[in-house]
Amino acid sequence: MSGETLSPPRRAGIRALDRTVPRTGRRGPRGRTAVRTVVGIVLAAYAAVSVYPFLWMVSAAFKTNKEVQEGGHLLPHDPTLRTFADTWNKLDFFDYFLNSVKVTVLTTVLVVVVYSAASYAFSVLAFPGKKWLYRLFLVLLFVPGVVTLLPIVLLESKLDILGTHWGLILPFVNGSAPLAILLLTNAFSSVPGELREAARMDGAGELRIFSRIYLPLARPAVITIALLTAIPTWNEYQLTRISLNDPHTYTLPIALQAMQSQSVVQYNSLMAAALIMVVPVIVLFLCAQRYFVNGLMGAVKG
Protein backbone atom coordinates (compact mmCIF):
# COMPACT_ATOMS: atom_id res chain seq x y z
CA MET A 1 0.00 0.00 0.00
CA SER A 2 1.19 3.42 -0.73
CA GLY A 3 -1.01 6.07 0.73
CA GLU A 4 1.94 8.17 1.72
CA THR A 5 1.04 11.27 -0.23
CA LEU A 6 -0.06 14.28 1.70
CA SER A 7 -3.14 15.82 0.25
CA PRO A 8 -3.28 19.58 0.39
CA PRO A 9 -5.69 19.65 3.32
CA ARG A 10 -3.47 17.29 5.24
CA ARG A 11 -0.48 19.44 4.63
CA ALA A 12 -2.38 22.54 5.55
CA GLY A 13 -3.49 20.79 8.65
CA ILE A 14 -0.02 19.89 9.68
CA ARG A 15 1.26 23.37 9.12
CA ALA A 16 -1.55 24.71 11.25
CA LEU A 17 -0.75 22.10 13.81
CA ASP A 18 2.85 23.13 14.01
CA ARG A 19 1.75 26.63 14.76
CA THR A 20 -0.94 25.93 17.29
CA VAL A 21 0.04 22.83 19.16
CA PRO A 22 3.17 22.62 21.20
CA ARG A 23 4.32 19.05 21.13
CA THR A 24 5.63 19.20 24.65
CA GLY A 25 3.75 19.34 27.89
CA ARG A 26 1.53 16.31 27.66
CA ARG A 27 -0.53 15.30 30.60
CA GLY A 28 0.97 13.02 33.20
CA PRO A 29 0.18 9.33 33.03
CA ARG A 30 -2.31 9.56 35.88
CA GLY A 31 -4.39 12.27 34.21
CA ARG A 32 -4.21 10.32 31.02
CA THR A 33 -5.61 7.22 32.66
CA ALA A 34 -8.42 9.20 34.20
CA VAL A 35 -9.39 10.75 30.88
CA ARG A 36 -9.20 7.36 29.21
CA THR A 37 -11.47 5.83 31.82
CA VAL A 38 -14.08 8.52 31.45
CA VAL A 39 -13.98 8.30 27.66
CA GLY A 40 -14.19 4.53 27.92
CA ILE A 41 -17.28 4.72 30.11
CA VAL A 42 -18.99 7.18 27.78
CA LEU A 43 -18.17 5.01 24.77
CA ALA A 44 -19.47 1.90 26.47
CA ALA A 45 -22.64 3.65 27.61
CA TYR A 46 -23.38 4.92 24.14
CA ALA A 47 -22.60 1.52 22.71
CA ALA A 48 -25.21 0.03 25.03
CA VAL A 49 -27.79 2.60 23.95
CA SER A 50 -26.97 1.96 20.30
CA VAL A 51 -27.22 -1.75 20.43
CA TYR A 52 -30.05 -2.22 22.91
CA PRO A 53 -32.97 -2.21 20.43
CA PHE A 54 -31.06 -4.59 18.22
CA LEU A 55 -30.43 -6.95 21.12
CA TRP A 56 -34.07 -6.66 22.01
CA MET A 57 -34.87 -7.75 18.46
CA VAL A 58 -32.52 -10.71 18.76
CA SER A 59 -33.88 -11.81 22.10
CA ALA A 60 -37.47 -11.36 20.93
CA ALA A 61 -36.83 -13.88 18.18
CA PHE A 62 -36.16 -16.48 20.86
CA LYS A 63 -39.15 -15.66 23.04
CA THR A 64 -42.78 -16.64 22.86
CA ASN A 65 -45.08 -14.00 21.46
CA LYS A 66 -46.58 -13.43 24.88
CA GLU A 67 -43.21 -12.85 26.46
CA VAL A 68 -42.24 -10.41 23.72
CA GLN A 69 -45.21 -8.25 24.49
CA GLU A 70 -44.92 -8.47 28.20
CA GLY A 71 -41.64 -7.08 29.04
CA GLY A 72 -38.30 -5.58 28.63
CA HIS A 73 -36.21 -8.48 29.90
CA LEU A 74 -33.45 -9.01 27.42
CA LEU A 75 -32.80 -12.61 28.33
CA PRO A 76 -35.55 -14.89 27.08
CA HIS A 77 -37.20 -16.78 29.88
CA ASP A 78 -37.30 -20.01 28.02
CA PRO A 79 -35.32 -19.59 24.81
CA THR A 80 -36.67 -21.49 21.84
CA LEU A 81 -35.38 -22.01 18.34
CA ARG A 82 -38.84 -23.04 17.14
CA THR A 83 -39.78 -19.53 16.17
CA PHE A 84 -36.74 -19.30 13.95
CA ALA A 85 -37.44 -22.56 12.22
CA ASP A 86 -41.10 -21.75 11.68
CA THR A 87 -40.32 -18.27 10.46
CA TRP A 88 -37.67 -19.51 8.10
CA ASN A 89 -40.26 -21.73 6.45
CA LYS A 90 -42.89 -19.04 6.37
CA LEU A 91 -40.53 -16.51 4.85
CA ASP A 92 -39.76 -18.55 1.71
CA PHE A 93 -36.36 -17.02 2.13
CA PHE A 94 -34.64 -18.49 -0.91
CA ASP A 95 -37.53 -17.66 -3.21
CA TYR A 96 -37.13 -14.00 -2.44
CA PHE A 97 -33.48 -13.80 -1.45
CA LEU A 98 -32.08 -13.96 -4.98
CA ASN A 99 -34.48 -11.28 -6.19
CA SER A 100 -33.43 -9.06 -3.31
CA VAL A 101 -29.77 -9.66 -4.04
CA LYS A 102 -30.24 -8.93 -7.72
CA VAL A 103 -32.02 -5.64 -7.12
CA THR A 104 -29.63 -4.53 -4.40
CA VAL A 105 -26.42 -5.44 -6.22
CA LEU A 106 -27.44 -3.92 -9.53
CA THR A 107 -28.66 -0.75 -7.86
CA THR A 108 -25.50 -0.39 -5.83
CA VAL A 109 -23.15 -1.08 -8.73
CA LEU A 110 -24.99 1.37 -10.95
CA VAL A 111 -24.98 4.06 -8.26
CA VAL A 112 -21.25 3.69 -7.77
CA VAL A 113 -20.44 3.63 -11.47
CA VAL A 114 -22.82 6.33 -12.68
CA TYR A 115 -22.29 8.82 -9.88
CA SER A 116 -18.60 8.37 -9.33
CA ALA A 117 -18.16 9.17 -13.01
CA ALA A 118 -20.39 12.21 -12.67
CA SER A 119 -18.63 13.26 -9.49
CA TYR A 120 -15.26 12.95 -11.19
CA ALA A 121 -16.47 15.38 -13.81
CA PHE A 122 -17.91 17.71 -11.19
CA SER A 123 -14.79 17.77 -9.05
CA VAL A 124 -12.03 17.60 -11.65
CA LEU A 125 -13.05 18.41 -15.20
CA ALA A 126 -13.92 21.87 -16.50
CA PHE A 127 -16.95 22.17 -18.74
CA PRO A 128 -19.60 24.83 -19.30
CA GLY A 129 -22.69 24.44 -17.15
CA LYS A 130 -20.90 22.34 -14.58
CA LYS A 131 -21.85 24.49 -11.63
CA TRP A 132 -25.53 24.50 -12.53
CA LEU A 133 -25.69 20.80 -13.14
CA TYR A 134 -24.04 20.16 -9.79
CA ARG A 135 -26.49 22.45 -8.05
CA LEU A 136 -29.38 20.75 -9.80
CA PHE A 137 -28.39 17.40 -8.37
CA LEU A 138 -27.91 18.84 -4.90
CA VAL A 139 -31.32 20.46 -4.97
CA LEU A 140 -32.84 17.09 -5.85
CA LEU A 141 -31.92 16.02 -2.33
CA PHE A 142 -34.89 18.02 -1.08
CA VAL A 143 -37.52 17.09 -3.65
CA PRO A 144 -40.56 15.90 -1.69
CA GLY A 145 -41.01 12.17 -1.90
CA VAL A 146 -44.62 12.06 -0.83
CA VAL A 147 -46.27 12.21 -4.23
CA THR A 148 -43.58 10.61 -6.38
CA LEU A 149 -44.69 6.98 -6.18
CA LEU A 150 -47.72 7.36 -8.39
CA PRO A 151 -45.95 9.20 -11.25
CA ILE A 152 -43.10 6.67 -11.15
CA VAL A 153 -45.53 3.83 -11.68
CA LEU A 154 -47.33 5.69 -14.47
CA LEU A 155 -44.03 6.49 -16.13
CA GLU A 156 -42.85 2.91 -15.93
CA SER A 157 -46.05 1.72 -17.43
CA LYS A 158 -45.35 3.99 -20.41
CA LEU A 159 -41.76 2.76 -20.60
CA ASP A 160 -43.03 -0.81 -20.31
CA ILE A 161 -40.78 -1.68 -17.37
CA LEU A 162 -43.54 -1.74 -14.75
CA GLY A 163 -43.43 -4.89 -12.66
CA THR A 164 -39.85 -5.76 -13.65
CA HIS A 165 -36.76 -5.50 -11.49
CA TRP A 166 -35.46 -2.72 -13.70
CA GLY A 167 -38.59 -0.84 -12.74
CA LEU A 168 -37.23 -0.86 -9.20
CA ILE A 169 -33.54 -0.42 -9.93
CA LEU A 170 -33.75 2.64 -12.17
CA PRO A 171 -35.77 4.80 -9.75
CA PHE A 172 -33.64 3.61 -6.81
CA VAL A 173 -30.47 4.60 -8.66
CA ASN A 174 -31.90 7.94 -9.69
CA GLY A 175 -33.05 8.56 -6.12
CA SER A 176 -29.54 8.01 -4.80
CA ALA A 177 -28.09 10.66 -7.09
CA PRO A 178 -27.91 13.68 -4.75
CA LEU A 179 -26.24 11.96 -1.81
CA ALA A 180 -23.84 9.99 -4.00
CA ILE A 181 -22.79 13.06 -5.95
CA LEU A 182 -22.46 15.17 -2.82
CA LEU A 183 -20.24 12.64 -1.09
CA LEU A 184 -18.12 11.52 -4.01
CA THR A 185 -17.52 15.02 -5.34
CA ASN A 186 -16.30 15.92 -1.87
CA ALA A 187 -14.02 12.92 -1.77
CA PHE A 188 -12.58 13.43 -5.25
CA SER A 189 -11.93 17.09 -4.52
CA SER A 190 -9.58 16.17 -1.72
CA VAL A 191 -7.44 14.03 -4.04
CA PRO A 192 -4.39 16.17 -4.84
CA GLY A 193 -4.55 17.65 -8.32
CA GLU A 194 -0.86 16.91 -8.94
CA LEU A 195 -1.63 13.24 -9.18
CA ARG A 196 -3.79 13.85 -12.19
CA GLU A 197 -1.22 16.13 -13.82
CA ALA A 198 1.51 13.60 -13.32
CA ALA A 199 -0.57 10.81 -14.79
CA ARG A 200 -1.40 12.97 -17.77
CA MET A 201 2.30 13.59 -18.32
CA ASP A 202 2.63 9.84 -18.41
CA GLY A 203 0.02 9.81 -21.15
CA ALA A 204 -2.91 8.47 -19.13
CA GLY A 205 -6.40 9.37 -20.38
CA GLU A 206 -9.30 10.57 -18.24
CA LEU A 207 -10.79 7.10 -17.95
CA ARG A 208 -7.56 5.69 -16.66
CA ILE A 209 -6.95 8.53 -14.25
CA PHE A 210 -10.46 8.17 -12.95
CA SER A 211 -10.36 4.43 -12.48
CA ARG A 212 -6.74 4.03 -11.41
CA ILE A 213 -6.19 7.06 -9.22
CA TYR A 214 -9.39 8.72 -8.10
CA LEU A 215 -11.55 5.69 -7.41
CA PRO A 216 -8.95 3.84 -5.31
CA LEU A 217 -7.95 6.94 -3.38
CA ALA A 218 -11.56 7.76 -2.56
CA ARG A 219 -12.27 4.21 -1.52
CA PRO A 220 -13.71 4.95 1.94
CA ALA A 221 -16.23 7.32 0.39
CA VAL A 222 -17.09 4.83 -2.35
CA ILE A 223 -17.63 2.09 0.22
CA THR A 224 -19.74 4.43 2.31
CA ILE A 225 -22.01 5.37 -0.55
CA ALA A 226 -22.30 1.71 -1.54
CA LEU A 227 -23.43 0.88 1.99
CA LEU A 228 -25.81 3.81 2.16
CA THR A 229 -27.34 2.67 -1.12
CA ALA A 230 -27.40 -1.06 -0.52
CA ILE A 231 -29.03 -1.06 2.91
CA PRO A 232 -32.08 1.09 2.11
CA THR A 233 -32.48 -0.74 -1.21
CA TRP A 234 -32.41 -4.06 0.58
CA ASN A 235 -35.21 -2.87 2.87
CA GLU A 236 -37.29 -0.93 0.32
CA TYR A 237 -40.95 -1.83 0.50
CA GLN A 238 -43.24 0.87 -0.89
CA LEU A 239 -42.37 1.02 -4.57
CA THR A 240 -41.67 -2.70 -4.57
CA ARG A 241 -45.12 -3.53 -3.27
CA ILE A 242 -46.88 -1.10 -5.54
CA SER A 243 -45.15 -2.02 -8.76
CA LEU A 244 -44.65 -5.79 -8.51
CA ASN A 245 -47.53 -8.16 -9.22
CA ASP A 246 -45.85 -11.45 -10.02
CA PRO A 247 -44.83 -13.39 -6.88
CA HIS A 248 -41.76 -14.67 -8.76
CA THR A 249 -40.36 -11.16 -8.75
CA TYR A 250 -41.00 -10.43 -5.05
CA THR A 251 -38.24 -9.32 -2.72
CA LEU A 252 -37.84 -10.09 0.98
CA PRO A 253 -39.53 -6.97 2.42
CA ILE A 254 -42.81 -8.08 0.86
CA ALA A 255 -42.67 -11.30 2.85
CA LEU A 256 -41.73 -9.36 5.97
CA GLN A 257 -44.57 -6.90 5.56
CA ALA A 258 -47.04 -9.75 5.14
CA MET A 259 -46.07 -10.98 8.60
CA GLN A 260 -46.30 -7.49 10.00
CA SER A 261 -49.85 -6.84 8.87
CA GLN A 262 -51.53 -9.91 10.27
CA SER A 263 -54.44 -8.87 12.44
CA VAL A 264 -52.72 -10.49 15.38
CA VAL A 265 -49.02 -9.94 14.81
CA GLN A 266 -46.71 -12.66 16.07
CA TYR A 267 -43.95 -10.36 17.21
CA ASN A 268 -41.48 -13.13 17.92
CA SER A 269 -41.88 -14.37 14.36
CA LEU A 270 -41.69 -10.87 13.02
CA MET A 271 -38.44 -10.23 14.86
CA ALA A 272 -37.01 -13.54 13.70
CA ALA A 273 -37.88 -12.61 10.13
CA ALA A 274 -36.38 -9.15 10.56
CA LEU A 275 -33.26 -10.75 11.95
CA ILE A 276 -32.98 -13.18 9.06
CA MET A 277 -33.32 -10.23 6.72
CA VAL A 278 -30.69 -8.17 8.45
CA VAL A 279 -28.02 -10.89 8.48
CA PRO A 280 -26.89 -10.27 4.89
CA VAL A 281 -26.69 -6.56 5.68
CA ILE A 282 -24.45 -7.24 8.65
CA VAL A 283 -22.24 -9.51 6.56
CA LEU A 284 -22.01 -6.73 4.01
CA PHE A 285 -21.06 -4.21 6.66
CA LEU A 286 -18.41 -6.46 8.14
CA CYS A 287 -16.91 -6.96 4.68
CA ALA A 288 -16.94 -3.24 4.08
CA GLN A 289 -15.26 -2.80 7.47
CA ARG A 290 -12.13 -4.48 6.19
CA TYR A 291 -11.77 -1.82 3.56
CA PHE A 292 -12.19 0.87 6.14
CA VAL A 293 -9.47 -0.68 8.24
CA ASN A 294 -7.22 -1.09 5.24
CA GLY A 295 -7.63 2.49 4.23
CA LEU A 296 -6.77 3.53 7.73
CA MET A 297 -3.79 1.24 7.92
CA GLY A 298 -2.44 2.85 4.79
CA ALA A 299 -2.67 6.24 6.36
CA VAL A 300 -1.08 5.03 9.58
CA LYS A 301 1.79 3.43 7.73
CA GLY A 302 2.40 6.65 5.81
Contacts (CB under 8 A) with other proteins, residues 73-112: none
Name the DSSP class of 81.
S
Largest CA distance in the chain: 71
Neighbours of 90 (CB within 10 A): 15
Output DSSP code: residue 13. H
For other proteins, the binding residue among 41, 45, 69, 287 (CB under 8 A) is 69
Stretch touching other proteins by CB under 8 A, among 75-83, 86-94, 101-109, 145-153:
145-153
Residue 105 or 110 having the CB closest to other proteins: 110
Among positions 46, 79, 85, 98, the unique one binding other proteins when judged by CB under 8 A: 46
Q: Which is nearer to other proteins, 106 or 271 (CB)?
A: 271
Sign of CA dihedral 139, 144, 145, 150: negative
Residues of 194-222 as b/e, b for ≥16 C-beta within 10 angstroms?
Answer: ebbeebeeeebebeebbeebbbebbbbbb
203 forms part of the interface with other proteins (CB under 8 A): no
15: CB partners within 8 A, 6+ apart: none
In the complex, the smallest distance separating the C-beta of residue 81 from other proteins, rounded to whole angstroms, is: 19
- CA dist., res. 190 & res. 184, Å (int): 10
**Binders of other proteins in range 10-39 (CB under 8 A):** 10-14, 16-17, 20-27, 31-32, 35-36, 39
**Residue 80 CB neighbours (<10 A):** 16
Provide the mask over 163-202, with x wherever binding to other proteins is found by CB under 8 A and - wherever it is not. -------xx-xx--x-x-xxx--xx-xxxxxxxxxxxxxx
Give least dist CB 103 to other proteins, A. Answer: 15
Stretches 69-77, 85-93, 96-104: which one binds other proteins (CB under 8 A)?
A: 69-77
Please report how close the Cβ of residue 98 comes to other proteins at its closest, in angstroms: 21
